[in-house]
Amino acid sequence: MSSPGISTPKRSKTPKSPITTEAEREQALRDYKLTIEYKHLKQHSPSGVYLLPSLTSLRTFHGVIFLRRGLYANGIFKFTMELPQGYNDIDTWPQITFQGWVYSPHVNENGELDLKSAYPQWDPHRHYLVTVLTYLKKIFYMKSFGDDAVANVDARELSRSDPKEYRRMVSKCVKESQRGLYMNEPGSILVFREENECHVALRMLMREKFQDPNEVVSRSLVLECVEEAQRRVELDQKKNGGDESNET
């Protein structure tokens, strides 16, 4: 019983966690592990391979690979990576689907990369996002294919029976990847746009300033080049506009 004139302070309620079930706790842990994986990936992604998370789903990523040598040299292949809800458990393979046509014994007619042949059992203690991206890059540099290349058997057999025709088909898919560069997938934050005057001016300016390929270029120097390129374009536009008015 409280004394007269003395109010008893109310006990503050402990905020309840939005995670109330064991299943929700396990899913939250998977989500946390995935964010750690992606953070690690930013420092260890294979060269020429880029991956960005979707704005709408934690388990959807948009990527692109630039090939600089080999049969697929100058190819630019965009892809989507989807992770199952239970990713980070045993046998929860990621799914990689290329946006355009990829002629490879390891990619099926729907554009899906065959990961299960490479990793018959997905082990979350040994296999990670970087594992998948490393394998994705590897298939473009393979010179021969074993019987485990079953995603496109016709391509595998052609590489054995008629290497010249196989190379022609690969070259055809490389050219198609270049033509489809500016066809951006709806919802993807990985967007390619055709270059404009500023892009051309910036490229020429950077070639002038940074001729040593081993030189480490700081962010501030790049931004200075961007500003200088914009000034050059504006001056050219004013000059061209003045010339046109004089002619009229």
Q: pLDDT tens-digit profile of 192-207?
A: 777 777 778 888 888 8
Measured CA to CA in angstroms, residue 207 lies from 37, 116, 204, 210, 234 at distances of: 36, 44, 5, 5, 20
Each residue's pLDDT tens digit, 7-56: 555 555 555 556 578 888 888 888 888 888 888 887 888 999 999 999 88
Mean pLDDT of 75-83: 96
Banded model confidence at residue 243, pLDDT cuts 50, 70, 90: low
| Angle formed by the axes of helices 22-44 and 129-139, nearest 10° | 50
Whether the per-residue pLDDT at 149 is higher than 90: the answer is yes
Whether the per-residue pLDDT at 226 is higher than 80: the answer is yes
| Sequence-ordered list of residues with C-beta below 8 angstroms from that of 140, at least 6 positions apart, any chain | 65, 67, 70, 71, 72, 75, 104
| Angle formed by the axes of helices 153-161 and 163-179, nearest 10° | 130
Instruction: State the pLDDT at residue 248.
Output: 47
Give the Cα separation of 60 and 58 in Å (integer): 6
Cα 143-147-148 angle, rounded to 5 deg: 90
Sign for the CA dihedral angle at 38, 90, 32, 24 comes to positive
Instruction: State the pLDDT at residue 13.
Output: 59
| Sequence-ordered list of residues with C-beta below 8 angstroms from that of 100, at least 6 positions apart, any chain | 77, 78, 111, 173, 176, 177, 180, 183
